[in-house]
Each structure stands twice: as C-alpha cells, then as structure tokens.
Structure 1
Amino acid sequence: MTPEIIAHRGASYLAPENTLSAFRKAMEIGADGVEMDVQQTSDKKLVIHHDYIIDLHTDISGKIYDMTEGELKELDFGSWKDIAYKDEKIATLEEALALCKELDVARVQLEMKAPLLYGDAFVEQVVEQVRAAGLGEKLVLTSFNHDHLKLAKQQMPELQVGALLFGAVETLALPKGTWETLGLQNGLDEDEDEDDFPQLPVPTVENMDEENCRELTRWVNDKYSMLQAAFPNESLSGILSKLNRQRDPAQYIQTLDFPVEWVSCEYHTAYKKVSMVQKLHDLGVKTAFWTVDTEAALKDLWPLQPDAIVTNRPDRVREWAGELETGE
C-alpha cells in the first residue's frame, strides 16, 4: 500500500510555510494532504503558524499568544520566502479548513500547538471549528500534549486523533545537516545502548559566531517552549521519564486511557524500533513519519509500510515513491 504523502506545513519548500498559498501549492504538485499547526492569539482567535514567535516570518519580533488576530493580519507573512508572496496574510483556522474542503484535500493533519497560557479553552475552540468544517475522517487532530487529545476525544468521540511522539532523541536534536551548517557537532553517541535514555546533544563552540549563536538560541528556546507546552508543570526528571516511555511507541500507546487512530513520530524512531509499524497496525493504529525529505530515508522506511509520509518535498517523494513501486 502506498503511504499518503502529506505536505509538511503545506508545500513549504516552495511557498511560505503554513499559509493558504502553501496549501494550494501542495495540492498542485501532487500531495495527498497537508499538515498544519494551529495556535491561539491573545484575543482567543485561532491562527495557523508553527513557531510561537513570528520573528522568522515577518519583519517584527513577537509571539503569537501576545498578539491579536487583527495585529497579526496586518503583517506580511510571505516576503521572507520570496517577493512573489509579498503581503501573504496569516491564515485563520477557519480559512485554512475551508480551503482544504474546497480543494478536496484527502487528508488534513492539524497539530494543536499546545498553548503556554490558555489551556483547555483552546482545545474546546479547536474542536468546535473542526466540527463546523465538516471534513469528517479526512481530518486527524494531533498534538504532543496527549491530555489535550484526550479532551478533544471526549468532546468529539468520532474525531480521529493522532499522538505525536518525541520518540528517538533525534526529535529533539537539530538535523545533522543543520549542525554541519552551523559548524558544530551534535554530540550524539551513535553506539548508545537503546535501553539507556540518550543524552541531549551538546554543541562544541570552536566555530560559533554571532549568526550561529542566534540560530542555536532560537532552536533551544523553541524546544524549551515545546516541552513546556507538552508537559505543563512537570519537573525535568518528570519530563525525561515521560520522554523515555515514548521511545517505544507501540508500548506507550497502550498506556493511554483513550483511543488514538494515529501515531506520528520523527522517522529516526523507526530505525531503532523496526517492528513499530507492524505492532501499531496490530493494535489498529495507523502510523505517520516526519519529516522525510531525502530519497535515502524514503527507501529505508518504505519496507516498513507506514500509512503516511510527512515531507517538505511532496513532489519529490511522489516521484521517488513511484520508482519504488515499479522497482526502477
């Protein structure tokens, strides 16, 4: 079975990520569906954006949860990618889901970016708009915060939900190529015992300059915010304990006290848990791997038969998948 090809934040390689243009482009170049991230603004509106900060995608510094929808709508979220997308506006959740319905998108993976401030009210709002959009089983609501998934499932039992798992330590580490670009080493021990909780990467500093420091600081802050939102009020030891349990997705998913239809994890997890997909399928749970952008990675993962591949390059993955299907 050919996995669904899901465009990560839309066609983010070609268009500004998480925008209506990116979702349209994704369908133009052959994606089966799109992945997007929803957050709550200071006036309790829902908008599509991945980072809590807007520094990289506008010409000002700010945080989604500190700004109103109106303030965000005044900004240009497209020029950072290409002048052709000048004045691209941030999308509301309602606008994004309406477009997906209009385009007849086969799959929408909607990630709730667990808020740092607003809690359960955010989940209730998301579920209300998901119900109103009428996408049915085409939509899968995902989150790293599994308490929020449980709440969403309670409010809308027919809703498909997907547990996002941190899984392998690579989920928390910059991609190898990024470390190399920064002139750093990732500090990961490739020979580690998989039964031991791995150490987080420790960069060397010989090649650090001002630009690299800014990039590394942004990454650390983003990971800190992600962990804070996914594991609210947890101690460091508590977070590490929960992360350790997630390293075996099939085992972990059976500890949840609510049903999930999907498990979505960073694809390196599959390298250490090669039986993971089959075990999840045996439990009636579908699997999605992110973010698969190279031919080599796709070839490695193909025999495992995941149900979905989330990628920044849906056009290339479609091409490579075709070659794997025909044996070329």
Structure 2
Amino acid sequence: MTINLQSHVLRRTAGRALAALGAAALAAGVLSAVAAPSSAAPAGEKVIVSEDFSGGSLPAGWRVVDGTWQVQNGRLVGTATGGNNKITFGRHLEDFRFEATVRFDKVAEPTRWEAFGLDVPADGARPWWIATMRSGSNASNGLEFAQMTAAGAWNVTNTAAAPYAAGTGRDVKVSIEVHGNQARWFFDGQQMMRTTSLVRSADGVQALFVNGSTVSFDDVKITELPANGYLRPAGSPVTVIAHRGASSAAPENTLVAQEAARRAGADFIENDVQPSKDGVPFILHDGTVDRTTDGTGAIRNLTSAQLKALDAGSWFSPHHTGARIPTLAEQLADLRTRGGNLLLEIKGAHTRDEVAKIVQVIREQDMTKRVFIQSFEVNALKYTYELAPELPLGLLRSTLDADPVAIAKDLHLTAYNPGNGALLARPGVVADLHEAGVAVMAWTVNSAATWKALDALGVDAIITDRPAELAGWNDAILHGAQPRPTAGIVSPVNGTTLDRAQRPVAGVVTTGADTVQVTLDGDPVEPGKPLDLTALSLGRHVIHAEATGPKGTAPATSTFTLAATPAGLAHLIVTSGADGGAVSAMMSKLAAGRYDDVAKYAERQSGKHVPAKYATVIAADARALHTQQP
C-alpha cells in the first residue's frame, strides 16, 4: 500500500485537532449536535464504473433489458409508460458505492419512481433488490429499499421520506453504500435510512430502473469499497447497537429483547455467548443463571436441557414469564429469517475448541456475513481469526491500550471497542484508529449528552440499552429538528398484579429526551433496575416517569397492584433477615395455612428474632391471606 506521507500527516493532525476541539467544547459545556467530522477515506477504494455519457451512445457492456434507454444531450434517458424497465451494467460486488445525479423529466403521477439496482441478474430476471426514489420523494414512502421476489411479489423492507420532493426538472444527487446485506441511502449527501435486510446473490450486478416516468441520469459511478463497512461515512449517524437486545424494555439476551430492538430500529443486536456443560453455545451474560432466570448455578455446570427449562423472563416482569435462554443457533435463525445483524461477545475465557463450536454454529446458520465477533479475551479473538478469518473482530476494552492502532493491527481488528469514559478522556484515539481503517464502537451509553459528545468525536457506533431512543435521536439530527419528548412505561405493565416474590424492572422507553426521572409512589427509582416490592404496602402503587428534552417534558404513568400470595409471603419471610429459628417457625405455619398464627408470631418477635420493619409487613400479608380463606 502506497501512502502520501505529507497527506497522511496532515489528515492525522487535523483529526487530532478536531478531536481535541470536541473534547474542549465538551468540557466547556458548549458542544452542539453538529455533523460528525468526516474521517479520512480508507485506502483500497477502486472506481469500477464512471460514466458521464459524453460519448453519445450507450456505453459498452450496458444491457437494455426492457423499455427505452438512450443517450441524449449527455445524459442516459430511460422511459417507461408501464412496468419496471431496466438496464444492467457493472459487475458483482459485495462492498460498493452507487452514485448518480437523477432528474425526473416526466412522470405519470408523484408515486412513479426510478431505482438503483443493487443486486440484479445481468439478464434482469427475478429476484432483485433495488433502492427506489419516487418523484414525490418527501412522501412517507418516498424512498425505499425493496426486493422483487422470484414469485413476482414486492418485499419492501425500509421506507423513509426525503427532506423535499425530487419533483420534475430538478437534479438530485443520490448515493447508496452497500456492504453485504447492509446498505445506507444518501439523498443530497445526507443519510436518509439504512437497511440490514438485503439478500445478496453470487453474481448480481448493478442496474437502473424507471417506472411510469421518463428519467435522466448523469455521472453514474460505481466504486468498490474496502470490506470494513463499519466505518461511518460522512453524512451518516452513529450505528445503533442494542446492548443485550433492547435490555431497558425487555429481559436481556432473549429473543423478546431481540425483537424489541429490531422494531426499535437497531442496526445490530449485541449479545453474549457461553457454552453449557454439554458444549452448546447459549446466549447469556453472567457466569451464572441466578440473576436473569428462576434457576441457580454456573452456566458451564448446567446442561442444555436444564438451561432450556429455565424461565428467563419473569425476573424482568410478569408480562415476560416463559421467555427462554436462546441457544446461539436459535438466535441466529431468528436474525436470518426476521432480519438483523449480530455483534456477538465471546464472554469469558474460551478454549480453541469452544470457539470452534461457535464458528461452526455461525456457518451452519449461514450467518458469517452478518455476525461481528468481539471479546475482552485476546485469545478468543486469535482463535476466531485462525478458524474464520472472514469474521470481523472487535476488541473490548475498559481502559485504552497505550497504542490501540498497533494492537488493532496485531489482532486483525475491524473495530476497537472501548468504554465511553476511557474514550472521552483520550479522544484523539478515534482519528488515529480511523486513519488505520479501524472502526470505533463505544459501550455502554444511555445518555443523550454522551451520545452527542461521542457523535462529535466521529465514533462509528454506540452500544446502548436504549436503542429506540438512540435511533430517534439519530433521526432528529438527520432531519434537522429535535422532536418533542415522549415517554412510555413498558414494565411493570399498566394494570398488572404482582406479589412480593417478583422483582419487575422499571422499564421506560423515551424519545427526544436528555434525562428521565422515574418515581415509585413519589420516591426516586432507577430506570432499568429491579424494583424491591418487599417493603411496599398491599394495594395500588404508581410508577411515574418524566422525560425531559430541549422541546419540553413528557410524563407517563403506570399502576400495579401488590397482592398477598403464599409465594410472596414465603419470599418475604426468607429474605427478611429473621434468624433461622424464626424463619423455620413462620414457614411451618405458612405451609399449614395458619396465616393468622404467622401474623401473631411476627408481631410477638418484632424487633427480637424478626426485624421490626419486616415483621409489620409479614403480619399484614398474613392477615390478608387469612381473610381470604373460606
């Protein structure tokens, strides 16, 4: 690789200066939501097609499939009174940028369109994938990513509205950047939407389409790009990576959280993988199942059958009772069929054989082009590279290495993934890594103020528990307006009935907000953390949330009823801190259904063998159960 040394030094110095300026502005409290500084273009771009149609005739190798296509006045003009008329050209590319200047000269109606063929058989046969623009491009579906299936049916995966209508007689600069199954849509230099749903063929080429219109094209350019599609192009927002799925709104590392993240607009799902006792890779963060299931024990000491029998949802809220710990194979199958990409953390030390099993599952699920491996464990990354060099790698770090660029080169990294605090303390690292062609993914960030700071430094992706909010924040910046905040309480579900054995998470989803305050009966609680129901009175309770942003404050309220149940009372007794004899006495009375005796015993031993604050609650629950007896 040949690099112009003077240019290299100037770009590196400029990148550091911008990073330092962003850090200084952050410290002064004046950093604003401006477009991220563009990083140096990575080496390796190669122009495949560059056509301005100055030759006066169709270029060699361009194939008219149907409709009328001709060169007039230095532009390629396509006309279609009906149907999807197309012309194919170029060659098959996995990673490329498709650019052109487009002008609608005549349309039957504003819903008519032109399209960029992203993966089209050279003969124009179905299926094919396109990026569509209507002349009424500011409609809600003015821009689309869509597939024409082999059966001749439309599969529209993504829609967006451009900031204005292309109309007729107006030149619009359009660019689509494709990396495997991912594509970004740029309208006059600004990203409008992104998809992760393309299904690529082995030999599809590029094409132009017209439908119910006459459209002229100029400056058509196809550029082959380096494979690292994780570097953020100029005009693009940060990539949204959902930490353990949408873990603020659903039980982490489950298919429920994955679906919530997908619907929230996350670009990637981040999850953790570890082996069961019998060697099956499962999706779980902790070394034990204690915190996020109804079971106990280390994951490596439990068989796959034992793990699949556990409830991984009720700890979060009763609404999610029955959710299971997915295997890696199940998670990948869900992503393959329903859409989405995976940032997979190999959690903890793994042997080479254990990493080989992970790679085997990824290959069996045909997901090598949609999985990104990351880990704190250097050996896990080395094993992955040896076994599957086609998989992109990211190194997780809590603190920064002395020379992140050197370790990135040594480990063949696609991304360097530090904690956000370490990155903000040394922001020049972003420019250094970008200069080396390495992306930067910061974790785990749930604050809009920190999103803003990282965005200004040019970070490529942010891992967050709040993917819906980050996706909404991105949209607000892209469309040049800060939305009014919204708030919704997703857990506990409004109107639900709970008992003391449950620990529902205070789950709040917001958009357009910088801060969120949550209270339970007026007392502050932390969003995303389990609620302690052991000290509450029986009856109705109120959770209130307030999301505050530049455009105001949005409230949300949810109520639940705390009921006395034998299971709840048993949990209360066991966790009350009472001495062993008192616990045994109360549990034996409870088992016999002698609730009134439980109440009397707790009151007699209050402040002695039973802590006073729990004795009162135990007595109240026991008397409530006594009154319910026939």
- Same fold judged by TM-score > 0.5? yes
Match of residue 260 from structure 2: 25
Match of residue 277 from structure 1: 430
Q: Which residue of 260, 276, 280 corresponds with 1:45?
A: 280
SS at 1:164's partner residue?
strand
Matched, 1:126 2:279: no
Matched, 1:249 2:404: yes
Match of residue 65 from structure 1: 300
SS at 1:281's partner residue?
helix
Q: CA deviation at 1:321?
A: 2.0
Q: Distance in 2 between matches of 1:135 and 1:276?
A: 31
Q: Distance in 2 between matches of 1:152 and 1:163?
A: 12
Match of residue 215 from structure 2: none
Q: Distance in 2 between matches of 1:262 and 1:253?
A: 8
Q: Distance in 2 between matches of 1:250 and 1:272?
A: 17
Matched, 1:311 2:464: yes
Match of residue 102 from structure 1: 337
Q: Which amino acid aligns with 1:260?
A: L
Q: Which amino acid aligns with 1:108?
A: L
Q: Which amino acid aligns with 1:296?
A: A
Task: Give the unaligned 5+ runs of structure 2.
Answer: 1-235, 483-630
Matched, 1:164 2:317: no
Q: Which residue of 295, 313, 327 corresponds with 1:92?
A: 327
Q: Which amino acid aligns with 2:405?
A: A
Match of residue 113 from structure 1: 347
Match of residue 417 from structure 2: 264
Contact map agreement 1:167 1:247 (CA 8 A) in 2: no
Q: Distance in 1 between matches of 2:251 and 2:291?
A: 11
Match of residue 203 from structure 1: none
Q: CA deviation at 1:120?
A: 1.7
- Which of these two proteins has the greater Rg computed from alpha carbons? 2
Matched, 1:135 2:367: yes
Q: Which amino acid aligns with 2:331?
A: A
What per-residue deviation string (whole Å, max 9, x for no partner) do you get for residues 37-68 of structure 1? 00001111110000001111122321101110
SS at 1:253's partner residue?
helix
Contact map agreement 1:6 1:32 (CA 8 A) in 2: yes
Q: Distance in 2 between matches of 1:152 and 1:52?
A: 21
What per-residue deviation string (whole Å, max 9, x for no partner) do you get for residues 93-126 of structure 1? 0000111111221x310001124xx622111101
RMSD between aligned alpha carbons? 1.5
Q: Distance in 2 between matches of 1:59 and 1:263?
A: 35
Q: CA deviation at 1:265?
A: 1.3
SS at 2:369's partner residue?
helix
Q: Distance in 1 between matches of 2:459 and 2:367?
A: 23
Task: Give the unaligned 5+ runs of structure 1.
Answer: 169-245
Q: Distance in 1 between matches of 2:263 and 2:481?
A: 26
Higher strand residue share:
2
TM-score, normalising length: structure 2: 0.38
SS at 1:147's partner residue?
helix
Contact map agreement 1:288 1:307 (CA 8 A) in 2: yes
Q: Which amino acid aligns with 2:255?
A: L
Q: CA deviation at 1:253?
A: 2.6
Contact map agreement 1:165 1:249 (CA 8 A) in 2: no
Identity of aligned residues (%): 33
Q: Which amino acid aligns with 1:269?
A: A
Q: Distance in 1 between matches of 2:426 and 2:438?
A: 16
Q: Distance in 1 between matches of 2:440 and 2:276?
A: 31
Q: Distance in 2 between matches of 1:274 and 1:304?
A: 7
TM-score, normalising length: structure 1: 0.72
Q: CA deviation at 1:324?
A: 3.1
Aligned length: 246
What per-residue deviation string (whole Å, max 9, x for no partner) do you get for residues 255-277 of structure 1? x2x31111111111221111111
Matched, 1:79 2:314: yes
Q: Distance in 1 between matches of 2:308 and 2:402?
A: 39
> Are the structure 2 counterparts of residues 295 and 247 from structure 1 closer, same or farther at C-alpha, using a change threshold of 3 Å?
farther
Contact map agreement 2:408 2:438 (CA 8 A) in 1: no
> Are the structure 2 counterparts of residues 303 and 286 from structure 1 closer, same or farther at C-alpha, using a change threshold of 3 Å?
same
Q: Distance in 2 between matches of 1:134 and 1:276?
A: 35
> Are the structure 2 counterparts of residues 129 and 253 from structure 1 closer, same or farther at C-alpha, using a change threshold of 3 Å?
same
Contact map agreement 2:264 2:471 (CA 8 A) in 1: no
SS at 1:293's partner residue?
coil
Contact map agreement 1:166 1:247 (CA 8 A) in 2: no
Q: Distance in 1 between matches of 2:361 and 2:260?
A: 24
SS at 2:374's partner residue?
strand
Contact map agreement 2:374 2:393 (CA 8 A) in 1: yes
Contact map agreement 1:247 1:269 (CA 8 A) in 2: no
Q: CA deviation at 1:319?
A: 1.7
> Are the structure 2 counterparts of residues 27 and 56 from structure 1 closer, same or farther at C-alpha, using a change threshold of 3 Å?
same
Q: Distance in 2 between matches of 1:131 and 1:273?
A: 38
SS at 2:355's partner residue?
helix
Q: Which residue of 243, 251, 263 corresponds with 1:16?
A: 251
Q: Distance in 2 between matches of 1:4 and 1:123?
A: 27
Match of residue 220 from structure 1: none
Q: Distance in 2 between matches of 1:136 and 1:124?
A: 13
Q: Distance in 2 between matches of 1:251 and 1:327?
A: 40
Q: Which amino acid aligns with 2:415?
A: W
